[in-house]
Amino acid sequence: NAVIGRYKLSVQTTSSGSSSPAILGTFVLLFNPWSSGDDVFMPNKAECEEYVLEEFGIIFAGNKNHINSFGWNFGQFQGDILNICLSMLDRSLNYRQDPATDVSHRNDPKYLGRVLSAMVNANDDQGVVLGNWSGNYEGGKSPSSWTGSGEILQNWKKSGFKPVRYGQCWVFAAVLTTVLRCLGIPTRTITNFSSAHDADGNLRVDEFYDASGNHLDRSADSIWNFHVWNESWFSRSDLGPSYSGWQVLDATPQEESGGIYQCGPASRNAIKEGDVDLDYDCPFVFAEVNADCMYWNYEATTGKKTLMFSKSTVIGQFISTKAVGRDDRVDVTIDYKYEEGSTKERDIFKKARKKLGLEDKFDPTAPTPQEIDQKPDISGKFKVAGPLEVGKDLSLILVLENLQSDAKTVHVNMTAWSTVYTRRPVHEIRKDSISATLSPKEEIQLPIKILYTEYQQQLTTDNTIQVTALCLVEGGIQVLVQRDIILDNPAIDIQVLGEAKVNKEVDVEVIFTNPFDTELMNCVLQVEGNDLLRGILEIDVPPVKASEKSSTKFKLIPFETGHKHLLVNFSCDKFADIKNFKMVNV
């Protein structure tokens, strides 16, 4: 239970009555998950290896229909990282306000986890990373261009501790993973798909649409395609043994807690059991995985809002993390909540609402029971008819079905917008309206084609398009049909040519095929990998002609044995950040 940090070691020798101290040097004391008395003790050795010693990770992204992943270089044991982590502690608001008290709490992982969740974002304290979700990243690096934490932490120090531009949720989570693993606290990244950002603390997320089907920015609430946070492993002496184990920390600046942008530690067991009255920030994390969604139509001229539908099973799906010792995805949804739609899950939701005092309070913004029970006359969905790839036209089918035994006339207003992964609309791509009459019980299919030339200039680096159809049924209620579509970048392949041995050169080839009928310009390949090369290698790749294959070769001289990971990132004028990684056995 000693305070972590830098210690000075000296020895005192006494001879014939006079004593003289000699300084032997300094050492840094860390948390020790291998020691059974430590707050961070983790009995499983393989988990200690993964969550403290492993310098490579996989982060999951995309959306619930289309999970993708990319490698990340945590690099917690490289060069200057430990010094930078210690200086983060000395730059926190807590240290600046009261150094002695702050240092005396540095034996407590829950204290440090909370302080560091604030220090990783730039809000309040000139922390490490500045967030930007606008889709425009001028004046910095786009969040999707980073491949590791080392460059970010080094840049922060080199600039005299000015926030590094720019990050989004996975960047904050990855940097926090690096810092906590470096200090000896077992930590991993967690991705939650369809993640709620409940700004007003009512465990409900409201989304508003206008009559044309445009997603309106009327509510501070939002549903992100995915959100990445951290779990760290330590005991909760403040709450009791049943709340020990994995604790949620979130360094993404979403809502203030205690007056600053920090979040956690929230006990994962407390979230699952609906114990939202426990420290810290449990209601916010509970809402991220459990909130109910309300979709409203909003009439700007009258200010009237009409509930289109509500769903209690949308939020918190496919909660994912990397497997221990393997490069696979593990689903941990069941550790956050009971099975969706089960009575137990609904009971926990009611328990949480009750603890927050939401059950008894009249909420004027809540839908009425009549609104919730109303039944639509038609149903609809978007089907994908063709490849979902950047550079190809996007073919969709809007399927509408008449659920009634009399004919229905439907007016459909459709929009397509490019968005960032938080589903924030950035550029309008298309706007259409069509009308159709459906015979009783009839299903019709309306083909929709969005050309590459239409969306090419509008796409953000997230490659995400949100299509919305607002269907107005004559004499009935409105039906909202929506789909978030992620377009895949072309693939990139890595080949290690020969056996990798310590201090011996080995050739690596990176192969990329241009799927376009035009030449790709400004091609750059970025390569990094702990113990395989020092720093980041940047290679200018010659222009790649239409449909041609490009091959780039470079040499590595590995300097450590073991399983190492090489990460590559390819960008050009038509694509940003095509990533891949390769395990290299040295």
Q: Are residue 143 and residue 95 in the same domain, yes or no?
A: yes
Q: Under 8 Å CB-to-CB from 394, ≥6 apart: which residues?
A: 386, 388, 449, 450, 451, 452, 455, 465, 485, 487
Does 290 reside within a domain? Answer: yes
Q: Which residue has the higher pLDDT, 371 or 537?
A: 537
CA dist., res. 295 & res. 209, Å (int): 8
For residue 124, pLDDT beyond 90 = no
Helix axes 169-182, 149-158, angle to 10 degrees: 80
| Residue 475 in tokens | 């004499």
Q: Give the mean pLDDT of the chain.
A: 95
Count of structural domains within the chain: 3
Q: Are residue 381 and residue 482 in the same domain, yes or no?
A: yes
Q: What is the mean pLDDT of residues 372-378?
A: 85
Calculate the CA dihedral of residues 57, 133, 182, 558 and round it to 10 degrees: 50
How many other CB atoms are found less than 10 A from the CB of residue 453? 8
Report strand pairing: 204-209 vs 292-299: parallel
Of 487, 510, 501, the residue nearest 568 (C-alpha): 510
CA dist., res. 41 & res. 30, Å (int): 12
132 is in an annotated binding site: no
Does 362 reside within a domain? Answer: no
Q: Are residue 443 and residue 516 in the same domain, yes or no?
A: no
Q: Are residue 151 and residue 254 in the same domain, yes or no?
A: yes
Q: Residue 153: which CATH number?
A: 3.90.260.10
Q: What is the mean pLDDT of residues 153-174?
A: 98
Q: Are residue 341 and residue 400 in the same domain, yes or no?
A: no
Does 186 reside within a domain? Answer: yes
Prior bond to 166 cis, omega within 30?
yes
Does 16 reside within a domain? Answer: no
Of 158, 161, 91, the residue nearest 130 (C-alpha): 161
CA dist., res. 487 & res. 62, Å (int): 10
For residue 362, pLDDT beyond 80 = no
519 is in an annotated binding site: no
Q: Residue 543: which CATH number?
A: 2.60.40.10
For residue 516, pLDDT beyond 80 = yes
Domain boundary among 486, 506, 525: 486
Q: Are residue 482 and residue 531 in the same domain, yes or no?
A: no
Please classify residue 183 by burial: count the beta carbons closer than 10 Å to its beta carbon, then call 0-12 exposed, 13-18 middle and 19+ buried.
buried
| 21-45 confidence digits (pLDDT tens) | 899 999 999 999 999 999 999 999 9
pLDDT at 20: 83
Q: Are residue 65 and residue 175 in the same domain, yes or no?
A: yes
Q: Are residue 72 and residue 164 in the same domain, yes or no?
A: yes
Domain boundary among 486, 508, 540: 486
DSSP state of 282: H
| Residue 190 in tokens | 């967690």
The distance of Cα 283 from the centroid of its chain, to the nearest Å, equals: 19
pTM above 0.85, yes or no: yes
Does 147 reside within a domain? Answer: yes
345 is in an annotated binding site: yes
| 284-330 confidence digits (pLDDT tens) | 999 999 999 999 999 989 989 888 888 888 999 999 999 999 999 99
Does 554 reside within a domain? Answer: yes
CA atoms within 13 A on the CB side of 489: 25
Query: Domain range for residue 256?
Result: 45-356
Q: What is the mean pLDDT of residues 107-120?
A: 98
Q: Are residue 119 and residue 168 in the same domain, yes or no?
A: yes
For residue 15, pLDDT beyond 90 = no
428 is in an annotated binding site: no
Q: Are residue 459 and residue 509 in the same domain, yes or no?
A: no
DSSP state of 394: E
Does 13 reside within a domain? Answer: no
User: What is the residue whose two structure tokens read 């390569």?
Assistant: 527
Q: What percent of the chain has pLDDT over 90?
A: 88
For residue 103, pLDDT beyond 70 = yes
Are the C-beta atoms of residues 381 and 399 closer than 8 Å to each other? Answer: yes
The distance of Cα 299 from the centroid of its chain, to the nearest Å, equals: 33
Domain boundary among 470, 486, 502: 486
For residue 360, pLDDT beyond 80 = no
Of 54, 422, 60, the residue nearest 229 (C-alpha): 60
Q: Are residue 440 and residue 581 in the same domain, yes or no?
A: no
Q: Are residue 478 and residue 340 in the same domain, yes or no?
A: no
Please classify residue 408 by burial: count the beta carbons closer than 10 Å to its beta carbon, then call 0-12 exposed, 13-18 middle and 19+ buried.
buried
For residue 396, pLDDT beyond 90 = yes
Q: Residues with catalytic annotation?
A: 169, 227, 250
Q: Which residues pair with 13 in a beta bridge?
A: 20
Does 415 reside within a domain? Answer: yes
Please classify residue 519 by burial: count the beta carbons closer than 10 Å to its beta carbon, then call 0-12 exposed, 13-18 middle and 19+ buried.
middle
Q: What is the largest CA-CA distance in the chain?
A: 110
| 220-276 confidence digits (pLDDT tens) | 899 999 999 999 999 999 999 999 999 999 999 999 999 999 999 999 999 999 999
